[in-house]
Amino acid sequence: MTRELVEGIFQSPRLYDEHFRSIALWLYFGGKHVFLQDANSITVKTPELVEILTFLSKQFPQVERVTSYGRSKTIATGKSIDDLKELKKAGLTRLHVGLESGWDFLLAYMNKGVTAAEHIEAGRKVIESGIELSEYVILGLGGKKWWKEHARETATVLNQINPHFIRLRSLKVLPPMALQEKVDEGDFVIQTEEEMIVEERLLIEGLDGITSTFLSDHILNLLSEVEGTFPDDKERMLAIIDAFLALSAEEKLNFRLGKRAGIYQTMHDMSEPLLHRQVAELITRIEAEDPGGVEGSIAKIKDTYL
């Protein structure tokens, strides 16, 4: 698709809606990656999903990767290895699965409708089929009471799956969520950002015998530079976390505000005098207007992320 054609489509909003414009941009930039929408596309019956994937391949032969979300429960109870191999052959290359936690108590507490054993069964099926697997883990899901069990049991499950990717997310509780009621009742206590980093360290420390790539690819994650492939990068990732935890309380606050405000990307940026001074001055201004208000400012910035 030519630049002129794309420009023509965007200059004619009455003729082409946003969906058409999105497809035009996708084709213009190569159209090599496809994501099947919905939270659990893998629930579609295998023959029908094979038909969809085959049609997609025929219409867009340039596509190199087709990704879908898939729930562990669906894969464990509703898809055989042969089903998954058929989907792989038809063009499905990657599945994203929300592991979230590997601890049965917490999975039940959060009403996830799945067990650790089912997570393991589903993950192993996907791996055996040849489809790439990304498992999502949520930092903070255990709160202040259960963070150790959450980190340790999740590491245990991941060790038994050995997914291609482990993707980190940080808990953010919003008013419409059922978890908000538990927070209001005092049954669930949300961790601080520093406590989540301590939890992250325990998780990484417990990951052993795997070859997964660890990714911190979400805006809510504080230490986005904690990424790498096991086992080679494990010690380096732990060292980054230890460097943060070793900072003084003042420097931790400086980094957290600088990161959330977009001034810092990584902790290394704190070594730039100009950037560090910019954040320090911002803290001074906030404190002058609202003593003790830096934490509130950080929370407000994070609220704009979602």
214-269 pLDDT, tens digit each? 999 999 999 999 999 999 999 999 999 999 999 999 999 999 999 999 999 999 99
pLDDT grade for 39, boundaries at 50, 70 and 90:
confident
What pLDDT digit, counting tens, does each position of 175-214 carry? 889 999 999 999 999 999 999 999 999 999 999 999 999 9
- Do 65 and 147 belong together in one domain? yes
Asked if residues 143 and 190 have their Cβ atoms less than 8 Å apart, the reply is yes
Does residue 3 surpass a pLDDT of 90?
Answer: no
Number of domains making up the chain: 2
Distance (Å) of CA 64 to CA 23, 56, 93: 16, 11, 9
Q: Which of 228, 246, 264 is the last residue of a domain?
A: 246
What sign does the CA torsion over 27, 28, 30, 33 have? negative
Provide the pLDDT for residue 305. 86
Q: Where are the alpha helices (DSSP H) in the chain?
A: 3-10, 18-28, 46-59, 72-78, 81-90, 104-109, 116-129, 143-161, 178-185, 193-206, 234-245, 249-260, 273-289, 294-303
Q: Per-residue DSSP letters for 212-223? A: PEEE--STT-S-
Give the separation between CA 18 and CA 251, rounded to whole angstroms.
45
Q: Could you list the residue range(s) of the whole structural domain that residue 270 is in?
A: 248-306
Helix (H) or strand (E) holding 210: none
For the record, the structure tokens of 288 come out as 């002058």
Model-wide pTM > 0.75: yes
- Do 218 and 90 belong together in one domain? yes
Distance (Å) of CA 126 to CA 92, 94, 209: 11, 9, 18
Q: What is the CATH number of the domain that holds 104?
A: 3.20.20.70
Helix (H) or strand (E) holding 138: strand 132-139
Our CA angle for 99, 105, 111, nearest 5°, is 65
- Do 238 and 275 belong together in one domain? no
Provide the pLDDT for residue 1. 65
- Do 173 and 277 belong together in one domain? no
Beta bridge partners of 179: none
- Tell me whether residue 200 is in a domain: yes
Does residue 160 surpass a pLDDT of 80?
Answer: yes
Asked if residues 135 and 94 have their Cβ atoms less than 8 Å apart, the reply is no
Compute the average pLDDT of residues 269-289. 97
Helix (H) or strand (E) holding 134: strand 132-139
Beta bridge partners of 34: 66
- Do 239 and 159 belong together in one domain? yes
Compute the average pLDDT of residues 270-296. 96
- Do 124 and 268 belong together in one domain? no
- Do 179 and 280 belong together in one domain? no
- Choose between 38 and 288: higher pLDDT: 288
- Choose between 137 and 29: higher pLDDT: 137
